[in-house]
A and B are shown apart, each in its own frame.
Chain A
Amino acid sequence: MEKVSLFIPCIVDLFLPEIGEATVHLLRRVGVDPLYHEAQTCCGQPAMNAGYREQAKRAAKHFIDLFGDDDVIVSPSGSCVYMVKHHYPQLLRDDPVWLRRAEELSGRIFELSQYIVDILGVEEVGASFEGTVTYHESCHILRGLGVSDQPKRLIRRAEGVEFVPLPLADMCCGFGGEFAETYDYISEEMVKEKVESYLESGADLLVLCEPGCLLNIDGYLSRNHPEKKALHIAAFLAGTGRGG
């Protein structure tokens, strides 16, 4: 039996643990009982993005030590998967031993919807939702991992769902980690436009796969359009209703 290991990013751990729980429930429902390394912390993305490479390297080495023996790693965050897959080998390129470990790992880590559809070959996960649903294409998931069709298939297969397109779905929502705080006046305009697209789509619900985008979009909705919701795909599919 393959060892499927759960990687719960720090944002989910702290602010959105319901997404982590929904991920566990969902995986169990499709026949995978994931293990969870309790010593996991953060993938290092904040340090990497801020230019602190030595500090990001410490996170990378900790991660590789912890997850190095797992057959498959699954995470409900595309940007963190991208960090591990793409940036770890870059960060560790001057150290042949660590580089090899990073490269080996990069082929075994998957974003949640990608894992369910591409690896397990499952699209019907027993989800249901009465209403129209649209999907936001998070940058790191779409352009970083090339994942776009997988989550949409899972959404479409949910019972009772009518999928409607989101205008400018692949336009960045303006999160960008520290960017949202430092360049607040730009970030605000970006998230505002994203939400306008959501309203324009007429959908009852916006689903996405990236916790960062979720904090941003749902944070904006909660302040300005409290009647509308954004939901992480794990919570949507598991039917737990929370996770956004």
Chain B
Amino acid sequence: MEIRTTLFNEIAGKEIRNTYARAFLKAMPAAIAARREAVMSSFPDPDAAQACGQAIRAEVVARLPELLEQFEQNAVARGAKVLWARDAHEANGIVLAIARERKAPYVTKGKSMVTEEMGLNDVLVEEGIEPFETDLGEFIAQQLKRPPFHIVGPAINIPVEEVCDLFMEKAGMEEPTTDPVELGYAARLFLRNKFHHVALGVTGVNMAVAETGTIVNLENEGNIRFNKSSPRTQVSIMSIEKVVPTMADAMHLTRLLSRNCTGQAISAYVSMDSGPKGGGEIDGPEELFIIIVDNGRSEIYADPTARQALRCIRCGGCLNLCPVYAKIGGYPYGWAYSGPMGQVLTPLLLGLDRAQDLYRACTLCGSCREVCPAGIDHPSLFLYYRAKDVEGDRRLRGKRRPWKEFGFFDLWSRAVAHSTLWNLGVRLVRPFVNRYSRGGVITTMGKYFEGWFRTRNLPAIAEKTFHERWKRLRRDTVSGDPDGRRGEP
């Protein structure tokens, strides 16, 4: 998958004019929020339920190394083969070796963000093994060669007419149709045939239960279950933070994930695998590989502040309510993870230097933090990334900022601590700014603040600031006008 995080403004500038996607994105936050609220209210105490999820994820991050070892032991005891990959390259190599050994001409895949992160599909294609995404949206996105637009609805922005053309060309659909049900049926026919003969199925993991060695997947289409039950060999790929301590924890997170993600009380399918098919069982794969991928996360773990990013359970609740995402959609985030989730994860995984706009294109409104069932404080993390970038932090690969900006803030901070200097600064800046004022309103400042003035005016700097007005204000009360209304019209 091509990494396009440095093209944020270019892509966002284009996407913001995409009227079709914008219409959909405008309706989404209110619709999702209403569904979410309705279904959250089925908890006796919704706030306590969220807090419980947040506590589980905090525990996971606190005990991560130990939980991973426990998971491995229990999964192995149930017959799974657990393999560790330090980075994307190693993880892809493992999948490739397994596919080659089994002479698989193609693989089917359940939607998995970590495989997007690894660029697994590209590697498989290069080696002549065709990957078929089997989640309907992901299938469309794959055929269109586009990144996921939304973590839950990867192709939710694609008009049906475009899907029709695509399926006529690539999914063997014979008669054109724009009926979503017919389109879904065409994809189903095409993919069922792939499942029928598949040797190797690749899926992601929503939760890996340490106490039982079980992997849990949540989905709405049944395709992941097919990926896990049709082939002889199942490969499930998880990033290290997917582990949870107990089955009870996994079940609580299942409730929260479904509610925060799609506003469902539970997803249509929840499947659990504890090892491959056992003696006497008729269903399931003959062999189960679980690949545990680090890909930079240990490095994140070593930073006590950044570490909380690993709490994320990929529900997408933050995307649904983000006012910036609602204007630009998922593509500008340039990689596997979009919206606030991507803004939190991508800069850590790729380096702060390669994702500058992701943690800056944010008003710090806090909608994401408010909804997050994992307890991530997104705005505080963005501020942390900005600070680490300014510092040029080596571990997180901060880039440092232009010297002009640094100079400005340094001068500013000296004035801030000395009011005489500050007030002198005000007196110097005022005539410069107010040169542009017409009747107390500024509509342009030439080459300065062009972004602001494109659509907005600004009041001129007051001829008398509050500071300069205070002496008179204070006198008003001394002379017995506590209401302060004297002299007003």
- Distance in angstroms from A57 CB to nearest chain B CB is 8
Known A-B contacts A179-B362, A188-B454, A222-B441; A15 and B413 likewise in contact (beta carbons under 8 Å):
no
Could you jot down 26 A-B contacts, CB within 8 Å? A17-B462, A17-B464, A17-B465, A17-B466, A21-B466, A40-B419, A41-B416, A42-B422, A50-B405, A51-B386, A51-B388, A58-B416, A62-B417, A140-B366, A143-B365, A174-B323, A174-B363, A175-B363, A181-B452, A186-B327, A188-B454, A191-B456, A219-B456, A222-B441, A222-B456, A223-B455
Interface size on A, residues (CB 8 A): 72
| Chain B residues at the A interface, C-beta cutoff of 8 Å | 9, 12-13, 16, 26, 29-30, 323-324, 327-328, 360-367, 369-370, 380, 383, 385-390, 401, 405-406, 409-410, 412-417, 419, 422, 426, 441, 443, 449-452, 454-462, 464-467, 469-470, 473-474, 477, 482-485, 488
Interface string of A209-230 (1 = CB under 8 A from B): 0000001100110111000000
Q: Considering the complex of A and B, which 5 residue pairs feature the smallest CB-CB distances, nearest first?
A: A176-B363, A184-B451, A51-B386, A55-B413, A219-B456
Name which of B456, B462, B474 has the most chain A CB atoms within 10 A of its CB. Answer: B456
* B485:A15 contact, CB within 8 angstroms: no
Residue of B whose beta carbon sits closest to that of A37: B419
* A28:B414 contact, CB within 8 angstroms: no
* B365:A222 contact, CB within 8 angstroms: no
A53 to B388, CA, bound (A): 9
Given contacts A52-B390, A58-B416, A139-B364, 7 further A-B contacts (CB under 8 A): A17-B464, A17-B469, A52-B409, A143-B366, A184-B450, A185-B16, A223-B455
- Distance in angstroms from A221 CB to nearest chain B CB is 9
Contacts of B389 in A (CB 8 A): 51
* A44:B369 contact, CB within 8 angstroms: no
Contacts of B484 in A (CB 8 A): 21, 24-25, 28-29
Interface string of A184-210 (1 = CB under 8 A from B): 111111111100000000000000000
| Chain A residues at the B interface, C-beta cutoff of 8 Å | 8, 12-17, 20-21, 24-25, 28-29, 33, 36, 38-42, 44, 46-56, 58-59, 61-62, 87, 90, 139-140, 143-144, 168, 170-172, 174-176, 179-193, 215-216, 219-220, 222-224, 240
- Distance in angstroms from B312 CB to nearest chain A CB is 19
* A185:B13 contact, CB within 8 angstroms: yes
Cross-interface CB contact of A182 among B324, B443, B451, cutoff 8 Å: B451
Known A-B contacts A171-B323, A223-B456; A49 and B364 likewise in contact (beta carbons under 8 Å):
yes
* A222:B457 contact, CB within 8 angstroms: yes
* B409:A55 contact, CB within 8 angstroms: yes
Name which of B323, B369, B450, B460 has the most chain A CB atoms within 10 A of its CB. Answer: B323
Contacts of A181 in B (CB 8 A): 449, 451-452
Cross-interface CB contact of A143 among B30, B367, B455, cutoff 8 Å: B367
A187 to B458, CA, bound (A): 15
A139 to B417, CA, bound (A): 28
Name which of B422, B454, B455, B466 has the most chain A CB atoms within 10 A of its CB. Answer: B466
Contacts of B328 in A (CB 8 A): 186
A215 to B449, CA, bound (A): 14
Known A-B contacts A62-B416, A179-B363; A185 and B405 likewise in contact (beta carbons under 8 Å):
no
Known A-B contacts A41-B415, A174-B363, A189-B327; A20 and B469 likewise in contact (beta carbons under 8 Å):
yes
Contacts of A24 in B (CB 8 A): 473, 484
A240 to B486, CA, bound (A): 12
A79 to B145, CA, bound (A): 42
Residue of B whose beta carbon sits closest to that of A56: B413
- Distance in angstroms from A101 CB to nearest chain B CB is 16
* B413:A47 contact, CB within 8 angstroms: yes
Contacts of B454 in A (CB 8 A): 184, 188
Contacts of B455 in A (CB 8 A): 184, 188, 191-192, 220, 223-224
